[in-house]
Structure 1
Amino acid sequence: MTKKTSQNNLLIFLTFLLLVVNYKFFYLFPIGSFGARTNELLFSTLSILSFIIIFNKIRGYNYLFSNFIIILFLFFLIEVFYTIFKYPEPPMDAVKELIPYLSLLSYLTFSSLAQVDLKRFLKIIIVLGTIIAFICILELFLHTHNFELFKIYGFNYGLTSDQLNDQTYLIRNGRSRLIGSDLIDFTGVISIGCLFNKEKYLSKKLLSLNIILVLFYEYYISQTRSTFMCLIFIAIVLVIIKYGKRLNTGITIGTLIITVPIVVTFAIRKIFTIQNNGTEYSTYHRIDEINYYLSIFKEKPIFGNGFLKDKPLYMEDYILIHGDNIYAGNAYSDVGLVGSIAKYGIFGLLLLIMLVIKEFIIIKRNKSLLLIALFIMTLLSMIDLSFLDAERLPSLCIYMAIFDGIAKSKKGV
C-alpha cells in the first residue's frame, strides 16, 4: 500500500467516523450525556483528534476557509472572556460553552478528503444521510404503533412520555415530532445541487432517493416546514438557472405559476394564520423571539449576550437568553441571524457576511450549481437555523469542504 493510498484511507475512515458520531452511531443506543442531538462533546473531541492527525500527517492541500475558521475561534475566545467578566456566572461555564465550537476543527478532515476525492466524500455524506432519514421515518412509524427501536434525540423536543402528559401542546400538527441530526436537513441541499450540476458526482437514483426521503422527513417527521420550503425554493432556482434558456417562455412561466403561489401561500399562512388547534403558534412565537432578540442586540450591540450557558445559574441571565415567557422560552437557533446577533453582537453579523462573501468569490471563480445551492442555503440560514449555531457547525464544515473540493478540481457547471 502506497503512502498516498494509506493517507486517503485514513481520511475516509476519519470522515466516516465523524459522521457516525454525529448521527449517534445510527441511533442504536443512547449517548445522551455527550449531547442530545449530535453528541457535541464526543464530536468535538474526535474533531480535535482528527485535526491533530491530519495536521501532522497530510500536506499539500489548500484550505480556503482557514482564515475564516481562525477568526471564528479568536472571536469565540474573546466572547468567553467577555462572558466571564460580564456575568456573575461560574467562569468554567463560559469555557464549557466553547467546547461544541471545537467541532469546527473537523473542517480540516472533511476538506482534505473533499480535495482528494470529492465524489467519494459526497457519496459518504449522501449515503449516510439517506440511511439516517430512513431510520427516522421508520422510528416514527414504529412509535405510532407503540414500539421503539432506535434512540434518536426524542419525540416532541426530547421530552419523555411522562413529561408529555403535562406538555401536549408541544406536539406539532396533532402528531408526534421526531428530531434527528441537522445533517439530515442539509444533505438534501447537497443532493439537489448534485442533481443539477454538470459534473455528475453521484447517480441520479441515489440523489433522488435522498431528496425524497429528506423531504418526507422534513415535512412529516421533524415537521421543519421552513427547511422543507428552502429545499423546494433551491430546486426551483436551479431549474431556472439550468434550463431557463432551453425552455420556451410558456413552460417557464407555467412552472412559476404553479410553484410560486404554493410557496407564497405557505409563507402567508405561516405568518398571518393561527389555527384553532394551535399548530401555527410557532410562527407567532418566532415573531416574539425576533422582537425580543432585537431588543437584546440594541442593549448589547458589540458582544451580545455572550457565552452564557443555556440554563444559567441566575434567573436574570436565564431571562436574557430565553425571555420571561413561562410557556415557551426563546431560543437563538429559532431565528437565524437575529438570534446570532443577540448572542454574538455585531460580530455575529460580520462573521456571516464574511462567510457569504467568501463563498461568492469561490463561486465566481468555479461556477457550479452545487456551490450555488450551498450558497442559497447559507443565505436562507440567516432567516432560520443559522450556521453559527453550535449544532449546525458540522454542516458548515461539510459545506466549506465541498467548496474546497470543487475549487481543487476546477470543474465547471
Structure 2
Amino acid sequence: MDSNTQASSLLKYKTAQSLCQLLDILWSSGGLVDSKAVALLTAIPTLKTLLQPIAGSEDSDEESEIYAYCLSSPSLNAYNELSQLGEWQLALLGLNPEVRAHWLNLAAARCREAGAMNDPMVLVKLIQQLGNASEWVLAQLENTSVSAGATPQIAAGPLAQLERDLLGHSLNDNAAIPALCRILRACFKLHTLSEQTEALTPIQLVDTSAKQLANNWCRGRLLALPDAFLSEHSLNQPLKPNDDWLLVSRPVNDEAKLIECFAHQPWWLLLSLVSFVQDAWAAEQRGGLLLTLPAGQNAFAPSQVNVAVQGIDGDEVSLGSLAEFLMQLLGELNIALYPELNNSAEDIQRLNRALSPLIAELLANKIWQFTEAGRGEPGHYRIHPDFSDACYSLPLAPLFGYKSQHLQQAIKQLAQTSYVNKRSASSANRINS
C-alpha cells in the first residue's frame, strides 16, 4: 500500500475510528505496545518523532528491540491545551495532511465568512484562536483563490460521524468553531515540533528489582502523578498507567524493606532524596534547603509545604510550594508528569494536596520528621535521624550515594540557582523603586 493510499484510507470512518481507539489506549496507559503502535505510526508517521520509544532492559539480549512507545512532553502539552480527550485524538489524527485538509477548508471558510462581516474584530478573534495555525489557513485561502470554483465551503466532511462521536458535534457546526481552532492550533504546534526534532532516543524498561532504581529517572521518562491525583482525574477519564514503562506508584506491604518501598513508590524516593540533599547541605554549614509548614496546619495532612533556601548569612528566599519546586525539578530532568499539569494556581494546589498523604506516609515510616516551632512560627520537615543513618549503610548506601548523584545534583542546583535569581530580582526591584 503506497503512502497516498494509506492517507486516503484514514478518511474512512472505520479506519479513523480504530486509530482513535488506539489513541485512547495510548492516553489511558501512557503508551502503546509496539505491535499496536505500528498501525498508528504507519498511518501517522509524524508521531514517530513525538512518542518516546521504550527499548529492552540492560540485561536483555534484545536491547535494541522496541517494546513500546510512550507519550512525551509535546504530546502531553498538546492534551493540556485542549478541552477534552476527543479534541486531542483529532489533533493527533490531523497530523496526517489528508485528514486535516477538510478542517483547514472549514477554517478558511470561517475566516472568509468573518471577513465579510461589518465587525472586523470577529476575524481578528478567529485568527487569534487559530494561533500559528493561521499560516495553514492563509495558505489554504491563497490556494483556493487561484483555483476556479474552489471556494472553501462549510460542509460536513468524511469524518463528520467520528467528530460527533468524539466531540458531540461535527466540526462544521457553528458551535464547533472554538474546538476547530484548538485542534488545528495543537496540530500545527505538534507538526512544527516534529519537523524541528529527530526521533527520541529509546530508554529502558522500568526496573522494579531495586538494582538500578536511579536509572529509571532518565530523560524522557513519565512519572505518574500521586494516586490521590490520579483517582481524582480518573473520575472523568479512567487512567491505568503501565508500570513497565512509566514510574508508577504500586502498593507495598507493611513488612517491605525500604529499598523495596522505593522501587514501588517513586514519589517516596523523590521526596526522600529532597530531604537527603537538605541534610547533606546543612552539614556543609553553607546555607541550606528549608521545608516549612505554615502555622496552624496538621503536619500529617498539610495542604501545602513551602520550600525556601537559607543563605550563608541566614537570609531566606522563598521558592514557592513543594509542588512548584518538584514541577521545576522534573522539568530540569526532562521527566514529564502524567497526566500533564499546567502551571495554573489550581493545578499546583491540587498537586500540593496530592502530596499530603505521601508526606504522612514518610512521617509514619520515619523517613521524614517534623519539628514544631514557636507560637505562630512555621514548623520544619527534615530527614529522620534513623533514616539518615540508614542512607549511609547497606542496602541504601549505593542508592543514596553514587547511583542517584544526578538527581541530588539537580535538586541542589535548582535550589541554588533559584536562590541567586530571586535575590538578584529582589535587588533589581529595590534599585528601580
What's the TM-score bracket when you normalise by the shorter of the two chains?
under 0.3
**Greater strand percent: which structure?**
2
- Over alpha carbons, which structure has the higher Rg? 2
Instruction: Give the structure, 1 or 2, with the largest relative contact order (CA under 8 Å, sep 6 or more).
Output: 1
**Greater helix percent: which structure?**
1
